[in-house]
Amino acid sequence: MPKFSLNNQVIVIAGGSQGLGKEFARKFFQEGSNNTVVVVSRSRTKLQKAVCDITGEKESLELTNGFRTTTNGASSLVYAVCDLAEYEQVEKLQELLESCSLVPTIVKLCAGGSTPGLFKDLKGHDLELGVKVNYMTCVNLAHVAVRHWPCAHLVFFSSEVAFFPFIGYSQYAPLKQSIKALVAILRQECPQQRISCVYPGNFDSEGYVLENQTKPSITKEIEGASDAIPCEECSNRIVRFLKWGYDDITTDFIGWFLMCTDMGLNKQNNVSIGWPLQWVLGVICNLIVVPIYMLICKFQIRSWHKALEKQA
Ligand SMILES: NC(=O)C1=CN([C@@H]2O[C@H](COP(=O)(O)OP(=O)(O)OC[C@H]3O[C@@H](n4cnc5c(N)ncnc54)[C@H](OP(=O)(O)O)[C@@H]3O)[C@@H](O)[C@H]2O)C=CC1
Ligand SMILES: CCCCCCCCCCCCCCCC(=O)[C@@H](N)CO
């Protein structure tokens, strides 16, 4: 299994134009050496701005046929426009990388985002976007990676809601649970490949600011246990865990605790921090703490519905 290092890597960052993806790009570019960082997303303008922000240059470089990395040990940062929800576009991206003799050693599958709201209030378009942005981007890129880059370390980004889906996240949580299932299967099918999965709690990104504009108050209330941390802090924690060799990663205490309650058959071939403790704590909590919490939660949701009815 490859050890995680910030040096001498070829890194593809899906969703690298903003938020956590951009923060990872900055880290590899500024803190590491001899890296080739490729940030990938749909929006050319966002990508160009992200690259310029990180390099401090006026111009950004697009990955094109014939691109060659520098040979002086410095890192390069380039962008590639690709809607990762479209399989053909992901294949084109792979061909482009191959034409530049770039074989990724790390793939970060950071694209994702939610439109919180009650299921009945969401538009058909929102539902489709939820599937595409959160799941199709991951499954497409993972497929190309497994076929063409069997030595690459894959880092998936799910969410704490994969352990506990709750009111307001119908457009999002089922897809983050799907990522967890995909990861479990890929670990069995590709034992030679390092496959990590991060289950972040809230962190303060562009996407987080946007989702908060439509987030129902009850959703905010329940997820209050996961205070938003800065992107940089979030990426630092993730890097630390990856360096220690953990492959199931949470970014705050409540996330680690939620994982305890979900240690069943999906926890094979991998370790998370304090996993023996997680098994034991999980058993006890599922017997005692979870039933009490579910009652409290049920009560919170019922009061919220009642208050809403009164308003109407
Ligand atoms: N912020 C939070 O509180 C939490 C976030 N997460 C997860 O962590 C990851 C990073 O989150 P965050 O930084 O907040 O995300 P942001 O919403 O800030 O950024 C999402 C990125 O994904 C890209 N993207 C979206 N759709 C596509 C697509 N079809 N093809 C290619 N790129 C795409 C966007 O770029 P563009 O628009 O240019 O395509 C953008 O760069 C996500 O998977 C998110 O679900 C998990 C738990 C909590
Ligand atoms: C005994 C059990 C106690 C349980 C307490 C429950 C607390 C739940 C906290 C969940 C926080 C979810 C954060 C992720 C949100 C996310 O993914 C979005 N921001 C999307 O971008």
Name the band, by pLDDT with cuts 50, 70 and 90, for residue 72.
Answer: confident
| pLDDT confidence of residue 110 | 98
| pLDDT confidence of residue 275 | 92
CB within 8 Å of 60: residues ≥ 6 apart:
47, 48, 49, 51, 52, 78, 79
pLDDT tens digits along 300-311:
999 999 999 999
- Candidate list 17, 75, 158, 159, residue with the active-site label: 158
Domains and CATH numbers, the chain: 10-286 (3.40.50.720)
Name the band, by pLDDT with cuts 50, 70 and 90, for residue 145.
Answer: very high
Rg for the chain, CA atoms, rounded: 20
Question: Does ligand 2 come within 6 angstroms of the Cβ of 164?
Answer: yes
| pLDDT confidence of residue 223 | 97
pLDDT tens digits along 106-137:
999 999 999 999 999 999 999 999 999 999 99
| pLDDT confidence of residue 212 | 97
> Distance between CA 69 and CA 280 in Å, rounded?
49
Q: What is the mean pLDDT of residues 234-241?
A: 98
Q: 172 catalytic, yes or no?
A: yes
ipTM: 0.98
| pLDDT confidence of residue 266 | 73
| pLDDT confidence of residue 270 | 75
For the chain, give the number of residues.
312
CA atoms within 13 A on the CB side of 111: 30
Helix (H), strand (E) counts: the chain: 12, 9
| pLDDT confidence of residue 167 | 98
Residue with tokens 């802090």: 233
On the question of pLDDT at 267 being above 80, the answer is no
pLDDT tens digits along 7-51:
999 999 999 999 999 999 999 999 999 999 999 999 999 999 999
110 CA from centroid of ligand 2 (Å): 18
Question: Does ligand 2 come within 6 angstroms of the Cβ of 160?
Answer: yes
Q: CB within 6 Å of ligand 1 — which residues? A: 14-15, 17-21, 41-43, 46, 83-85, 110-113, 132-133, 137, 157, 159, 200, 202-203, 205-208
Mean pLDDT of the chain: 96
On the question of pLDDT at 268 being above 90, the answer is no
Q: 114 catalytic, yes or no?
A: no
CB within 8 Å of 231: residues ≥ 6 apart:
19, 20, 22, 23, 203, 204, 205
Q: What is the mean pLDDT of residues 175-179?
A: 98
Name the band, by pLDDT with cuts 50, 70 and 90, for residue 139.
Answer: very high
Q: For residue 91, what are its two tokens?
A: 């294949």
